[in-house]
Structure 1
Amino acid sequence: MSFILNIETATKNCSVSIAKDGHTIVCNELADEGYSHAEKLHVFIEEVIAKAGISAKDLNAVAVSQGPGSYTGLRIGVSAAKGLCYALNIPLIAVDTLQTLASQAGVTDGKIIPMLDARRMEVYSAIFNSDLTVERAIQAEIIDENSFQEYTDKLYFVGDCADKCKPVLTKDNFVFLENVKYPSAQAMSKISFDKYQKSDTVDVAYFEPYYLKDFMIAPPKKQ
């Protein structure tokens, strides 16, 4: 029997779950436009552990969303995960953010394209088959009317980019699942358990999130 704490902070959704043998038993999450991860994350962690009826010492591993996504959100999640793993002497598992998002599509045909907003018409995206095997690796790309035109099978789009991409991606085989907007720690449970069983873990000291693009600090505006 294994208990894994899953942490997902790559987007506006601050999400934490406890899974027992790959099945989510409790999840607490809040999608906040103001990115309240710094205030909410540790509270959520304490709450899900208590609701699961266990203590932190009962955890066998901590899984964290590795990106791509928000620079600040990823840093907050990874820092918390590392701190817990170090204090409890348990392994750290890194989970691909876009794989988590794709797994929430719940489809059995076609291909799944998870997309996260990277501002303007740029997105972080990947392409998965319906069994969640990788069809195309993660990349940052500009979306226009020519995007994904080479695919003739049904494409299911998930993520927070529907509003800006639907007017451009209009082929009949393009389907936007607008109810799947953000990755959730609830969907991490099976993925993290599979990795745990394979001892697919990362180094607590040296692991860094996958930002995909360098973090840029804008210069201050002139007065």
Structure 2
Amino acid sequence: MLLLSIDTSIRGCSVAVHQDSSLLASYDLHTDRSSSSMLTTLMESAVKHAGFTLNDLDAIAVAKGPGSYTGLRVGVSSAKGLCYALDKPMIAINTLEAMALQLNAFYPEHLLCPMIDARRMEVYAAVFDATNNFVQSTQAVILDDNSFQELLADNKVVFFGDGAAKCQKLLSDHPNAIFLKKDIRPSAVTIGELAAKAFQNDHFEDVATFEPYYLKDFMSPPSRKASSLA
């Protein structure tokens, strides 16, 4: 089983190639924006570095969200294009679930709360246990002084991701709240690890109808002219 995995949930893009559960190649490009041309170059390079061609792939996996509206659209569109061109199945993985997988081996007695920055005091978040099962489902959370208080009363919770800084301003004094100094970004590597399991269970998407998991409707920022008249 040869998988190409794609993650464009936030700034930049990440790709990885797995054979069964073994990582063969991965590339990350950290830029302010994702583009289909950047992603195409990374995908071709990763597959070539792994010693294969695109035709050798058994499936394409993609981070379905939540995350950046534009980023998710680029990633899913690219994955769909490959699936159509190569006649391969598509696997979609929750971005936050893949983020939690990066850390669960290091915090076996903690809950994990990956966060992706949204607007103002809002984040996309979910909570996982050490076996990567959902404790709280994926949701858009508007942070305030009461956020996560019930979980923190009985559990140590690790907050991470580019949305965690907002939460740290509110919860940094709580003894059960842990904030990582290291920047944990979404990664195609853990997308691929979860996708390998999904492949074995035949968890494939309908390529024609699949849409990214935006979690909420896209809202374009107001124009300068509109802002000046408000």
TM bucket, shorter chain? over 0.9
The residue correspondences of 1:80-95 to structure 2 (distance < 5 A) are: 80-95=78-93
TM-superposed CA distance for 1:87, in Å, is: 1.0
The letter for the 2-side match of 1:212 is L
Q: Give the counterpart of 2:47 among 35, 46, 49.
A: 49
Identity across aligned pairs (percent)? 43
Show the counterpart of 1:29. 28
Q: TM-score, normalised by structure 2?
A: 0.92
TM-superposed CA distance for 1:31, in Å, is: 1.8
Structure 2 contact 112–129 (Cα < 8 Å) conserved: yes
Aligned to 2:65, the other structure's residue is in SS state coil
CA RMSD of aligned residues (A): 1.4
Show the counterpart of 1:75. 73
TM-superposed CA distance for 1:121, in Å, is: 0.9
TM-superposed CA distance for 1:190, in Å, is: 1.6
Aligned to 1:42, the other structure's residue is in SS state helix
CA distance in structure 2 between the partners assigned to 1:178 and 1:203 by the alignment: 39
Aligned to 1:53, the other structure's residue is in SS state coil
Show the counterpart of 1:206. 209
Q: Give the counterpart of 1:165 among 164, 167, 171.
A: 167
CA spacing shift, 1:192–1:214, aligned 2, 3 Å: same
| Number of positions where the alignment pairs a residue of Structure 1 with one of Structure 2 | 221
Higher mean displacement: 97-106 or 156-165: 156-165
Aligned to 1:178, the other structure's residue is in SS state coil
CA distance in structure 1 between the partners assigned to 2:145 and 2:119 by the alignment: 17
Show the counterpart of 1:193. 196
Ranges in structure 2 where 5+ consecutive residues have no aligned partner: none
The letter for the 2-side match of 1:105 is L
TM-superposed CA distance for 1:180, in Å, is: 4.2
Q: Give the counterpart of 2:220 among 199, 212, 217.
A: 217
Structure 2 residue 182 is matched with structure 1 residue 179: yes
1:138-158 per-residue CA deviation (whole Å, 9 max, x = no partner) reads 111111221111122110112
The letter for the 1-side match of 2:118 is A
1:119-175 per-residue CA deviation (whole Å, 9 max, x = no partner) reads 211000011111001111111111122111112211011210233221211211111
CA distance in structure 1 between the partners assigned to 2:179 and 2:221 by the alignment: 33
Structure 2 residue 29 is matched with structure 1 residue 10: no
The letter for the 2-side match of 1:188 is I
CA distance in structure 1 between the partners assigned to 2:220 and 2:94 by the alignment: 25
Aligned to 1:15, the other structure's residue is in SS state strand
Aligned to 1:168, the other structure's residue is in SS state helix
1:23-72 per-residue CA deviation (whole Å, 9 max, x = no partner) reads 2111000222x214334101100100110000111100000000011011
Show the counterpart of 1:130. 130
CA distance in structure 2 between the partners assigned to 1:134 and 1:189 by the alignment: 19
CA spacing shift, 1:105–1:178, aligned 2, 3 Å: farther
CA distance in structure 2 between the partners assigned to 1:52 and 1:36 by the alignment: 23
CA spacing shift, 1:55–1:81, aligned 2, 3 Å: same
CA distance in structure 2 between the partners assigned to 1:160 and 1:208 by the alignment: 24
CA distance in structure 2 between the partners assigned to 1:102 and 1:180 by the alignment: 13
The letter for the 2-side match of 1:114 is P
CA distance in structure 1 between the partners assigned to 2:217 and 2:93 by the alignment: 20
